[in-house]
Amino acid sequence: MDLTDFLKSSAKQVDEALDRFLPPAETEPSVLHEAMRYCVFSGGKKLRPILCLAAAEACGGDLTKALPAACSVELIHAYSLVHDDLPCMDDDDLRRGRPTCHKVYGEGIAVLCGDALLTAAFRSLADTAATQRWKTSDFLIDLADASGSKQLIGGQVLDLQSEGKAIDHSQLVAIHRAKTAALLTCSVRLGAMTADATAEALAQLTKFGQALGLAFQIIDDILDLTQSTEVLGKTAGKDIKSNKATYPALLGLDGARAEAEKITQHALNALQPFGTQAHYLRALTEQLLQRHA
């Protein structure tokens, strides 16, 4: 299977698993379940669950066993977007080419929808089978720490606090590590753990995920600056408007692109011990560097 087919087939498997897992839209309270589905089935890239599956593959595992964890990381991502888009946070009207959750369902339901997606992420993790090396509590610690106050949520706090302030390169890296790289790394780690990966393999994949996450965010910063709202499906040019520190602002466009290429190479280097088994992870990494949306 080439990368395009793997991406399609993985996204389909994840969508089907999410559809089986989430309560039907007609289950009471139906407005909440409808909102949850609106946010989850909105044509996103499904990057995190695909990374989870690709990491399981790289460790010789069975993709079906990685599906509950793949759903978990996508649900965490979906909840974080719903809450980040709220008027009291980034105040965004557009996400994936459609009105944001609070625009459609109101702020109260949007807050509760995010809460329900977050809770559902942990419920899905309970369906992950323990392996010889990794227990349910290990999965739980990984997901809770990556999503918690020092990583995903902490990153959003730092991001809110940095708006309009001059921050340096190391502070920018700290924000991106927490806000983006932690959950990407967790996605890869969880997939590998469902495949009973060794601690050594996990350590390599952690390096991979951290580099990939940073490179991903630099590209995001570049696209926010160079692409249109139509292409991105979310409001473009927001970083400049909100006077946000970004890689292009710190290093210039060329500097930022060079940095993304350098860090992508770090990510690829971390995959070396996996040889050809990591071909999807490798191809995906190269594709993310070249993406235009």
C-beta closer to a copy of itself: residue 171 or 226: 171
156 binds a copy of itself (CB under 8 A): yes
User: Could you say which of 25, 86, 203, 283 contacts a copy of itself (CB under 8 A)?
Assistant: 86
User: Could you say which of 52, 56, 120, 267 contacts a copy of itself (CB under 8 A)?
Assistant: 120
114 binds a copy of itself (CB under 8 A): yes
Q: Which of residues 135-154 bind a copy of itself (CB under 8 A)?
A: 135-137, 140-141, 143-145, 147-150, 153-154
Q: Helix, strand or coil for residue 99? A: strand
166 binds a copy of itself (CB under 8 A): no
For residue 66, the surrounding DSSP H or E stretch is helix 63-84
Residue 271 C-beta: closest distance to a copy of itself, Å: 29
Q: Count Cβ neighbours within 10 Å for each residue of 176-199 and write b for 16 or more, e otherwise.
A: bbbbbbbbbbbbbbbbbbbbbbee
36 binds a copy of itself (CB under 8 A): yes
The residue range among 28-36, 40-48, 226-234, 264-272 that interacts with a copy of itself, by the rule CB under 8 A, is 28-36
252 binds a copy of itself (CB under 8 A): no
- Start-to-end CA distance of the chain, whole Å, equals 24
119 binds a copy of itself (CB under 8 A): yes
Residue 252 C-beta: closest distance to a copy of itself, Å: 29
Whether the ω angle into residue 49 lies within 30 degrees of 0, i.e. cis, is no
Question: Token pair 């990591």 is at which residue?
Answer: 278
- Count of positions on this chain that bind a copy of itself (CB under 8 A): 51
Residue 167 C-beta: closest distance to a copy of itself, Å: 13
**What is the token pair recorded at 231?**
């292409």
Alpha-carbon span 284 to 198, nearest angstrom:
23
228 binds a copy of itself (CB under 8 A): no
C-beta closer to a copy of itself: residue 129 or 231: 129
Residue 237 C-beta: closest distance to a copy of itself, Å: 22
Residue 202 C-beta: closest distance to a copy of itself, Å: 17
Q: Which positions lie near a copy of itself, rule CB under 8 A?
A: 23, 27-29, 31-33, 36, 79, 83, 86, 88-89, 106-112, 114-116, 118-120, 122-123, 125-127, 130, 135-137, 140-141, 143-145, 147-150, 153-154, 156-158, 160-161
